[in-house]
Amino acid sequence: MQPGIQEHQQRAAHIESLLQEISALPDPALRATTEELIQALLDLYGEGLARILALTAQATVSGQELIDQFANDDLVSSLLLLHGLHPVDMETRIRLALDTMRPSLNKAYGSNVELISIADGIAHLRLTGNSHGCSASTSTLKTTIEQAITQAAPDLEELHIEESVEQPKTAIPVKFVPPRRRKEKEQSHASLPSS
């Protein structure tokens, strides 16, 4: 239920009261920092509202498709996340990020990454493939994954990447002896005098 006019007026009065308290702070440095913080927040939200209006004005779609455009805009998306209003759930955002980066991971590192689970704000991923046995390469790979996931889901509390590096398959040596040579070898052993 949306707040009514009276509730909006009460909030506005409370904000005005808080602003008066800030302007009366005895410490000028604290007062200046607080005012700068408030101005930065107002600027951020003002820019976000301007982006929403611009996206709406340019839109040839409405409803859910327009909301999806809001979700794809970095600034608007971050504001929606800040208030728990993002239209795409965390798991979907993480899966989309992994799907996008999977081809480059495979090409550059011969590796793959998969989402195992998300619970209590913690995502568990499994890294598979061949990172060429180099710890620096694995570290770079993990950093790349962490950056992509953080960008897609900044509301994620923790990210755990478990390694499951596939070992190269080694061939088992098999000595092939043709049947004719095997028979000759058996005959030569049978003709040797026993000691």
For residue range 95-149, list pLDDT tens digits in order.
999 999 999 888 888 888 999 999 998 999 998 876 555 666 778 888 889 999 9
Residue ranges of domains in the chain, CATH in brackets: 7-82 (no CATH), 90-165 (3.30.300.130)
Report the chain's mean pLDDT, rounded to a whole number.
82
Please state, in angstroms and rounded to a whole number, the distance separating the CA atoms of residues 68 and 118. 23
pTM comes to 0.60
The residues, any chain, with a CB within 8 Å of residue 87's CB and separated by 6 or more, are 64, 67, 68, 70, 71, 80
**Residue 187: its pLDDT value, please?**
66
Average the pLDDT over 178-191 and give the result.
61
Please, what sign has the CA dihedral across residues 26, 32, 37, 38?
Answer: positive
Please state, in angstroms and rounded to a whole number, the distance separating the CA atoms of residues 140 and 195. 66
Please state, in angstroms and rounded to a whole number, the distance separating the CA atoms of residues 51 and 145. 29
